Amino acid sequence: MSRLVAVTVILAIASAGCSSTDSAPDDASSIRVATFNASLNRPAAGQLVTDLTGENAQARAVADTIAANSPDVLLINEFDYSGADAVALFNDNYLDQRYPYSFTAPVNTGVDSGLDLDRDGALGGPGDAWGFGQFPGQYGMALFSKYPIDTDSVRTFQNFLWKDMPDSLLPREHYGDVSDALRLSSKSHWDVPIDVNGKTLHVLASHPTPPSFDGPEDRNGKRNHDEIRLSAEYISGADYLYDDNGVRGGLEDGASFVMLGDQNSDPVDGDSVAGAIAQVLDLPRVQDPAPTSDGHGTDTADFADPNPGDLRVDYVLPSEDLTVVDSQVYWPDLPEHPSDHRLVWADLEI
């Protein structure tokens, strides 16, 4: 599928009424890059568009969280994909048109495979989608930026096959004769280049599946591990990788990047395969700011107690050539929060 068909890009120029503080400064010494699993997913297709057309309390609380941190580049996980509509509505109606540039693209969640992937003897339903979901685009992603996006150079990895990763953890004993058809990314993996005052910053966005909700075969845990491995090997320039346009290879040597997203993997706790997130954290090209919040350490998600409990699963990981000025997990003391995840940011010298 060509990029023109597969990718939806929104270049919504902010209105003249926006203040100068909402635009990207030409001489900024650093920019704030953030990730937030905002739980803006809905149980039915089109419901998010409907909610964002009017006044929705959860969406407003998400927008208030974003405004309190004022990121220049922001990845939102669990933002249902519906083409340009939801992204534009959220920017216009909730973010006060702060972000002149935004990007979204199709994801695997809810896309029917036509195969019995959950091995229940029947076809159809969320378990037989390429990524678990009730409808195409549920739990999608959206990127918002105050800096221009180089749309011609965007790379997506929605269709990369799990079997094509050498020495993968693909549980063939579970999937049987459909193993070779499986897509690796439960949503997608994106490389979105952004022009920050003449310097290219590659935003590497992803949201691997949770390593749970399966059986003793640990198919979701193994998929989570290999989805994180895809990011690690993309950063390392692995030549076996191919994107949705058939272009092979990973990130170029010396490229500046920041890896963003809910990776669903804690370095020490939780159900992920041992060493899953360490595949990225231990790379020489990656630095870990290890942002914290008062009272919660490096944890970024408030899950059910006692299991799995609070975990660190959301990451802002810049390349080693960038200087980290500051970083934080934004964990406000509120009676209610719009998501079980917290916004994470890092200020980077570009």
- List b or e across 269-307, with b for residues whose CB sees 16 or more CB atoms inside 10 angstroms: ebbbbeebbebbbebebbbbbebbbeeeebbbbbeeeee
CA distance 328 to 289: 9
pLDDT by residue for the chain (350 residues), tens digit each?
333 333 444 443 333 333 334 566 676 789 999 999 999 999 999 999 999 999 999 999 999 999 999 999 999 999 999 987 999 999 999 999 999 999 999 999 999 999 999 999 999 999 999 999 999 999 999 999 999 999 999 999 999 999 999 999 999 999 999 999 999 999 999 999 999 999 999 999 999 999 998 899 999 999 999 999 999 999 999 999 999 999 999 999 999 999 999 999 999 998 999 999 999 999 999 999 999 999 999 999 999 888 888 999 999 999 999 999 999 999 999 889 999 999 999 999 98
Local structure of residue 242 (DSSP, 8 states): B
Spatial separation of the C-alpha atoms in residues 108 and 126, rounded to whole Å: 11
In contact, 35 and 289? CB cutoff 8 Å: no
Helix residue spans in the chain (DSSP H): 3-6, 47-53, 57-69, 84-93, 172-175, 219-235, 278-281
Q: Choose among 104, 94, 87: nearest CA to 64.
A: 94
**Across the strands, what pairs with 286?**
319
What pTM was computed for the model?
Answer: 0.93
